[in-house]
A = this chain, B = another copy of it.
Amino acid sequence: MPSYEEDYSAVFVHAGAGYHSKPNEPVHLRACGDACKAAMVLLKNGGSAADAVEMAVRVLEDAEITNSGYGSNLSLDGTVECDAVIMEGGGLSGAVGALCHVQNPICLARAVLENARQPMSLKRVPPILLVGEGATMFAKEQNFPLVDNEKLISPAARQRWERWRTELRYSQPSGSVMSPTEVKIQDGPGEPEEDIVTDTVGAICIDRWGRIAAGSSSGGIGMKHRGRVGPAALVGVGTWVRVGEDGLVVGATTSGTGEHMNNTLIASKCVDRLMGSEDDLQALKDCIELDFLGAPVVKTATTAGALGVLAVKLERSGAKYKRAHFLYGHTTDSMALASMVSWQNEPDLIMSRNKRTPKVALGGKVIPFRARK
């Protein structure tokens, strides 16, 4: 059994902001829980924060119900194109965008990150963001097996695509409960039985050395244009980690209306606010309401902006003791989350639900623990 000294690591994950139907709630939460447990095995065996993020996101990608990896939304022409990013507290990142033919995009993002540590000939700087065909070439060079497009398509994803295609053909833009981007359910009798989860899974992990890493992965918006890169590939937008004064470390990973998140650099804004905040939940609320919903580019857009944020703030008091603040907030109907610290046998599962009137749901907790050294 690990000593208290080693008993230090933590995993936080989310499986997207959107509308999670009641019948499917256990499936979403099981995916989150599985991601925590798999990542925790690595952390307990001395794995790094980046190892754990890669594992947690990988489990979520493999879960059929999430819009990432297997089961991703299809683009307009029926292709699965994925985005993924991983970033360490030190500031190094690796990312892939509009990636085809790779089973686990987060693993390729990790390979990009590891490759970026190596010096190159001719003093070239190694790439940290690879996209499209070039990203597939890199996967091949790294001996990743390339898979057929069909192998990444789940039956449910194909069904959604076929329905949307019919609707596009018959020009019924608002006829369906289930638009590719609609994440607030309508007021009215009954509740849709189908999920409307539009974006991005993510994880933030802390290892026994107090290091932090964060990552995200997404199949992107349904019926998207080929080549569209979303927040899950972009540092500062979908994922951001920063080390501040006094060893304070803050990480954030986001989900929601990608283009609005990109134009507002929302993950970096969230980290900036939490870095200086006394009241973390208020800071998160300000980020969602002012930096995102209040941004001119979101306010004047023809489409409403949806956002979900998972954030972790790691605090050092002196050299040895630390506290982690686990925070989340979303404007969508629901957001599926889980957390697990190393002295827990089972993860805490959270399906955070908002009221029907659009507002910001917030939650979180403070986890005190002690660093190994």
Q: Hey, which bits of chain A sit against chain B, CB under 8 A?
A: 75, 81, 90-93, 97-98, 116-119, 121-138, 164, 167-168, 171, 173-174, 176, 179-182, 221-230, 234-237, 243, 257-260, 262-265, 268, 295-298, 300-303
Contacts and interface: CB of A to CB of B under 8 A. Distances in A.
B119 A303 contact: yes
A118 B135 CA distance: 30
29 contacts: A91-B295, A91-B298, A97-B131, A97-B229, A117-B302, A122-B164, A122-B176, A122-B179, A123-B173, A124-B221, A124-B224, A125-B221, A125-B258, A125-B260, A125-B303, A127-B228, A128-B259, A128-B263, A130-B227, A130-B228, A131-B132, A131-B227, A131-B229, A132-B134, A133-B133, A133-B227, A135-B227, A136-B227, A236-B265
Contacts of A227: 127, 130-138
A322 B126 CA distance: 43
Taking chain A's interface residues, is the majority helix, strand, or loop, or is none over half, making it mixed? loop
A234 B227 CA distance: 15
Given A131-B227, A236-B236, 17 more contacts: A90-B296, A91-B264, A91-B297, A92-B297, A118-B302, A119-B302, A122-B164, A122-B176, A122-B179, A123-B173, A123-B174, A128-B259, A130-B228, A132-B227, A133-B226, A137-B227, A265-B265
A225 to B, nearest CB: 5
A225 B122 contact: no
A226 B164 CA distance: 33
Contacts of A81: 134
Contact of A122 (B97, B132, B181, B297): B181
A235 B262 contact: yes
B225 A138 contact: yes
Given A225-B134, A296-B243, A93 B128 contact: no
B234 A127 contact: no
Contacts of A222: 122, 124
A262 to B, nearest CB: 6
Contacts of A130: 225, 227-229
Contacts of A167: 121-122
A234 B303 CA distance: 22
A129 B228 contact: yes
A121 B226 contact: no
Nearest to A302: B119
Given A119-B303, A229-B97, A295-B91, A181 B129 contact: no
Nearest to A303: B125
B129 A268 contact: no
Given A122-B167, A171-B121, A132 B133 contact: yes
B93 A123 contact: no
A122 B223 contact: yes
A168 B223 contact: no
A97 B303 CA distance: 24
A122 B295 contact: no
Given A167-B122, A182-B123, A225-B130, A116 B235 contact: no
A174 B268 CA distance: 37
Counting from the closest, the 5 A-B pairs by CB-CB distance are A134-B227, A132-B132, A91-B297, A134-B226, A127-B228
